Structure 1
Amino acid sequence: MKISYNWLQQFIKPDWDIEKTGELLTDLGLEVEGISTYESIKGSLRGVVVGEVLACEPHSNADKLKVTKVDIGTESPVQIVCGAPNVAKGQKVPVATIGTTLYTKEGEAWIIKKGKIRGEESHGMICAEDELGLGTSHDGILVLHASLQPGTPAADVFTIEEDSVIEIGLTPNRADAMSHWGVARDLKAGLIQQGEHYELITPSVSKFNVEGELRKISINVENKELAPRYTGLTISDVTVKASPDWLQSRLKAIGITPKNNIVDVTNYVLHELGQPLHAFDADQIKGEEIHVKTVESGTSFVTLDGVERTLHTDDLMICDTEKPLCIAGVFGGLHSGVSDQTTSIFLESAYFDPVSIRKTSKRHGLHTDASFRFERGIDPNITVYALKRAALLIQELAGGKITSQVEDLYPKKIEDKEVFLSFEKVTKLIGQELPQGTIKSILSSLEIQINHATESALGLSIPAYRNDVTREVDVIEEILRVYGYNAINFSTKLNASIASIDPYADHRIQDTIANQLIGQGFNEILANSLTSASYHQLTSSFDDAENVSILNPLSQDLAIMRRTLLFSGLESIAYNTNRKQSDLKLFEFGKTYNQKNGERSEQKRLSILISGEKFKENWKVTSDTTNFYYLKGIVHAILKRLGIEITNSEEVSLDIYNEALTYYHNKLELLNFGSVNTKILENLSIKNPVFYADIYWDTLVQLTKKSKITFKEISKYPEVRRDFALLLDKHIRFNEIEQIARSTERKLLKKIDLFDVYEGKNLPEGKKSYAVSFIFSDENKTLTDKQIDKVMKKLQHNFEQKLGASLR
């Protein structure tokens, strides 16, 4: 946001230089990002003086040039070669002396140098008005008034505005400071803390006068929630023309291009007081009525920039009896604005709902100075004052007369907020006790009214324009920023405390597993929680009635909250494989969202996706693609790290998988994992197989808190290994073998592994061979062959009886 220092001094006039003022504004929270210089005439005519043409003779070597002698106030006249057709003896003219810098229309600088033109020396330049930046004419040199004295600086002859422009990095919460008045208000409060007391000067509207109700345009606000306050009046017999130089300079200084006196006044009051205004051509308002309402969705409307836009049913519009005229608070219409032919205007000043304006502005991609202020919340109590201020300026610059009373529709006043402030709380948050008198002085300087006071607290009323101050802590922040953060003393005492840390806190367990996965070559991803409902068409696992839908989605691709981490993970797989990164190991901690019977819920999940090769291509490592068993090993490592035992597993029937398993701890479902359904992969244009694990993180965290870690001394006695080659039916799985073995020998059997599977030639039909290893150990003694043989016979017997197995 740009603030003109000259403009600011119309409200408050401290005897401070611009740099010191900038420092104070930064301390107040209005961070000054830079200070630049503005000149209404670039270069401010430095080096240009009044000259008198003493002699003017034709150039001997050029028909269109003349050699002049010019008195520029020095001891002797200078010779200047001039090509202007209107130069003549006796004229008073502007002369750019040697060394003067002039600027082109594009802002490029060029320096006047001594030179020779066709053999004649030239010591300067007699200038036309466009060469000085005083106009656009280049028909001839600029002839000045005959009474001027040679040598008079041109800057003393022409009105030149020089200004300092402060660039403020305004934070979104400071809607109250989005104007010169608002900045001046803050500056006054800061100056009081510096011991400087200055009066805040506000423009007077005492001369506002209605010259008969000759033309009244009635107002009907149909949507009072979106337009809590709407005011307007008519001004007749105006003359639309260019604004005076002072107004143009004010606007140009802050980067606003002047248009005409009516529009310029509305922009001026916008940046002066922070109240957006809009001027309509009154003759374009059909039926002499204004309706503030929403229109049917799909209605076409051409805005001031000539673009035809399709309106939404929630867009608040300013309409007449036949058509929309303006998108309220955002942008005017092409055919209802002020033009050179306008003679009467309807002037609007309003307070619109900030949320509505923000949505409309974003919906149509229109970001204007008005919407910038409306969507952050303006002062609802200056609506009429700003309207009168603008009306008086229009009368001053465009003539005309006010031909209607101010119509003010404000059915429900926006009240000031009541806040209770404890002095103890102030001290606690600031870290230093401030005198109560200082606190009261700061609050008064911020126009925060003290309704009642006790020894320990204050009852306050916060002005409506401070919509960011709603709580006690907000008031304390206001006190602190005005008192000055730099004024708070720092203690030389160093305090330290030991925080109580829960070793089983979710984030600590998450960090542990994340570090483990990263150590195994995985990369963490963070995907959008919003996704497309179309993904659910690829599976029957999700009921659309349980989706958590977005009321106002940015697009259909972001229309619902995700029910699974699978599809956002597959989007990452597709994105990377399309860019030649096909060997992927990804994981994500994220939440899934559901609703059932009107109740919404969210669950935290850990998703793991692998695809492509296990390891980077290397001469030392043979090529090996990821598979179901590789993912199984990753899953087992996670559960083992958390100390969670798998008590049961079963095949999964979810159609997001080709084949998959679910793991349980007692009756609690821990996770499911498997290879992703080929049809789903094809829909996302993924060619390589993808393996996915969906881990119920909330369940794992709860079980981890209950698990007890025990430490055992490593046995000093040797382990014994024995192997079985079992001939089994194809449908029998390894976990059945493991369960039978564990139940057969609980004390000595330490580990069971499947190290070979064979199906095919030389085996009976419907059979397979499992090679299983058994590790035995006793912590107290060395095992004998007799003990091991006895256990192995029991195992063989149970396998034969319960599984129909036989030894090969």
Structure 2
Amino acid sequence: QDDLMICNAEEGMCIAGVFGGIHSGVTGKTRNIFLESAYFDPVYVRRTSKRHGLNTDASFRFERGADPEMTLPALKRAAMMIRDTAGGKISSAIVDEYPTPLEPFRVKIRYAHVDRLVGKKIERDTIKRILEALEISIESENRDGLTLRVPPYRVDVRREADVIEEILRIYGYNNVGHPSTLTSVLTYTARPDKEKVTQIISDYLSGNGFNEIICNSLTKEAYYRDDPSAVELFNPLSSDLNRMRTTLLYGGLETIIFNINRKRPNLRLYEFGNCYQLPAKADPDKPDAYLEDERLALFATGPRHTGNWIQKEQPGTFYELKSFVEGIMARVGLDTGLLQTQEVDARYFTDGLTYWVNGAKIAEVGILESSVTGQFDIPSTVYFADIHWSGMLEEMKGFRITMKEIPKYPEVRRDLSMIIDQAVPFSRIRDIALESGKEMVRSVTLFDVYESEELAKGKKSYAVGIVLQDETKTLTDKEIDQIMHRIQQNLEKQIDARIRQAT
């Protein structure tokens, strides 16, 4: 009942302007043909086409507007072609039903607006000649402008700006010329400069073997069936483009399998892109309810280095991608020593880390679940990092560049070997050392991990290097021993560490 149908005396035969019926078509046995030439409202055709998911040549033309005055000439032309090329015989007169003729569209233009938009004063007689050549008739004229009647077939000319564009197109862009003066204004660029920072990180990743990809922000409903925050399109172009992405993950996986199927298994990819969400309990009818934020995604799969005569093939690892994530943070100025980390809890990771800064999550990196990569038939392990680029830029707003001279006094390194519980991460050891050493501890690095059945169940051995330095003097052995003793005591007290060796 909501669609316009073409019917015979008993039943429907075609969906008007969209789709023909099996019994209304022409076959090799057809002898009698009834020709119909019609104009259909573009709005009704588009609604019907989208409602039934039918994108045809007919709907493509009718929903963009056709010329209603062309129905009769088109009918006569079709009849003559059948007669001249197929030996047909015209057996009836033309029946023309046009109960409500479409009137030309009325548009008012003002000469002042023509001069302003074109950038040059065009002679009024020239404007009138151009309009006459475009078959746009002048209904009335006054000192300020013209009232025009645009023929119905010009479906793209409905506003004053449309008419001015047509005038300029015929007049010629090259005839406008350039002004003799140049006007400029002082502009202020917000800090950080988003485009500049994005370009810096792009150069960093591209220089380290990554390739940039750009995926469609419209994606498949199948990816987000269990995601209530996914944004649904009311008028999707197709069933494969009916959702706005909430993550850059699936576009990257589509790219990976596309390349793997073409014998390119060694991939390092990155993408900057926007993601969209509708928060729970938000009103979908309010545009302000939708969230849009920019993300940076990194993908790594396949060997890190292919084998050759001088070295063996090196497989990719989680730590490879983790190093690039932390490299990005360091490149934009985040102090990696102040980052908080915890095990990732995203549903598509088997293992990984989440990074937090000032209580805000800024990145996740880990190994993708085989159930996720299996949807795309990807045979290899895929490492994925999701960086909240908008959040990272927000954290950069308070950054200030400071400089100081190189310390005059030497660094001292001490190593600690300890046995700790399996659940204790290195970040916890680093935080305790930094807190215990106050301003003397410059860095804490993990250089050895040992796990064996010889150790107690649920235990592991870590060896860390601690660099100490005082910028005002040379540290004495006594001062160094005091700092290291304090660090050992806190490690034993807070994480139940058993110190095996201190050097």
TM-score scaled to structure 1, two decimals? 0.53
Q: Is the 8 A contact 2:266 2:302 kept in 1?
A: yes
Q: Is the 8 A contact 1:650 1:663 kept in 2?
A: yes
Q: Which residue of 2 aligns with 1:61?
A: none
Matched, 1:713 2:405: yes
Q: Which runs of 5+ in 2 are unaligned?
A: 285-289
Post-superposition offset of 1:508: 2.9
Post-superposition offset of 1:674: 1.0
Q: For 2:110, which of 421, 432, 449 is the aligned residue?
A: 421
Q: Per-residue CA shift, 1:644-664, capped at 9, x if unaligned?
A: 345422222333111122111
Q: Is the 8 A contact 1:325 1:332 kept in 2?
A: yes
Post-superposition offset of 1:536: 4.9
**2:304 aligned counterpart, secondary structure:** coil
Post-superposition offset of 1:695: 1.3
- For residues 276-287 of structure 1, the aligned pairs below 5 Å read none
Post-superposition offset of 1:375: 4.3
Q: Is the 8 A contact 2:318 2:383 kept in 1?
A: yes
Matched, 1:546 2:234: no
Matched, 1:317 2:9: no
Q: For 1:612, which of 295, 302, 320 is the aligned residue?
A: 302
1: CA distance, partners of 2:395 / 2:236: 37
- For residues 32-431 of structure 1, the aligned pairs below 5 Å read 294=3, 316-329=4-17, 348-353=37-42, 356=45, 367=57, 374-380=62-68, 382=69, 386=73, 402=93, 406-410=96-100, 416-423=105-112, 425-431=113-119
**1:377 aligned counterpart, secondary structure:** coil
Q: Per-residue CA shift, 1:569-623, capped at 9, x if unaligned?
A: 2232233333332222111222333334343433322111112222233445453
Matched, 1:629 2:315: no
Q: 1:421 to 1:449 in 2, by over 3 A?
A: farther
Q: For 2:162, which of 446, 470, 474 is the aligned residue?
A: 474
**1:408 aligned counterpart, secondary structure:** coil
Post-superposition offset of 1:525: 1.8
2: CA distance, partners of 1:583 / 1:557: 28
Q: 1:673 to 1:324 in 2, by over 3 A?
A: same
Letter in 1 for 2:328: I
Post-superposition offset of 1:725: 1.3
Q: Which residue of 2 aligns with 1:788?
A: 480
Q: Is the 8 A contact 1:643 1:709 kept in 2?
A: no
Q: Which residue of 2 aligns with 1:104?
A: none
1: CA distance, partners of 2:389 / 2:207: 20
Q: For 1:640, which of 314, 325, 330 is the aligned residue?
A: 330
- For residues 455-466 of structure 1, the aligned pairs below 5 Å read 455-466=143-154
Q: Is the 8 A contact 2:211 2:268 kept in 1?
A: yes
Q: Which runs of 5+ in 1 are unaligned?
A: 1-221, 224-293, 295-315
Letter in 1 for 2:201: I
Q: Is the 8 A contact 2:39 2:67 kept in 1?
A: no
Post-superposition offset of 1:463: 3.6
Post-superposition offset of 1:521: 0.9
Q: Is the 8 A contact 1:353 1:375 kept in 2?
A: yes
Q: Is the 8 A contact 1:659 1:674 kept in 2?
A: yes
Q: Which residue of 2 aligns with 1:512?
A: 200
1: CA distance, partners of 2:176 / 2:305: 58
Q: Is the 8 A contact 1:584 1:610 kept in 2?
A: yes
Post-superposition offset of 1:442: 2.6
Q: Per-residue CA shift, 1:491-540, capped at 9, x if unaligned?
A: 6x695968845563433322221211111111112233343343457xxx
Post-superposition offset of 1:340: 9.3
Count residues in correspondence.
482
**2:314 aligned counterpart, secondary structure:** coil
Q: For 2:346, which of 649, 654, 669 is the aligned residue?
A: 654
Post-superposition offset of 1:383: 6.3
Q: Is the 8 A contact 1:384 1:408 kept in 2?
A: no
Post-superposition offset of 1:737: 1.3
2: CA distance, partners of 1:800 / 1:738: 14
- For residues 13-24 of structure 1, the aligned pairs below 5 Å read none
Q: 1:389 to 1:676 in 2, by over 3 A?
A: closer
Letter in 2 for 1:739: D
Larger radius of gyration: 1
CA RMSD of aligned residues (A): 3.9
2: CA distance, partners of 1:347 / 1:579: 50
Q: Which residue of 2 aligns with 1:432?
A: 120
Q: Which residue of 2 aligns with 1:527?
A: 215
Q: 1:708 to 1:345 in 2, by over 3 A?
A: same
Mean Cα displacement is larger for which, 321-330 or 649-658? Answer: 321-330
Q: Which residue of 2 aligns with 1:576?
A: 259
Greater percentage in helix = 2
Q: Is the 8 A contact 2:367 2:382 kept in 1?
A: yes
Matched, 1:563 2:240: no
- Give me the identity figure in percent: 37
2: CA distance, partners of 1:466 / 1:675: 56
Matched, 1:725 2:403: no
2: CA distance, partners of 1:472 / 1:594: 37
Q: Is the 8 A contact 2:300 2:382 kept in 1?
A: yes
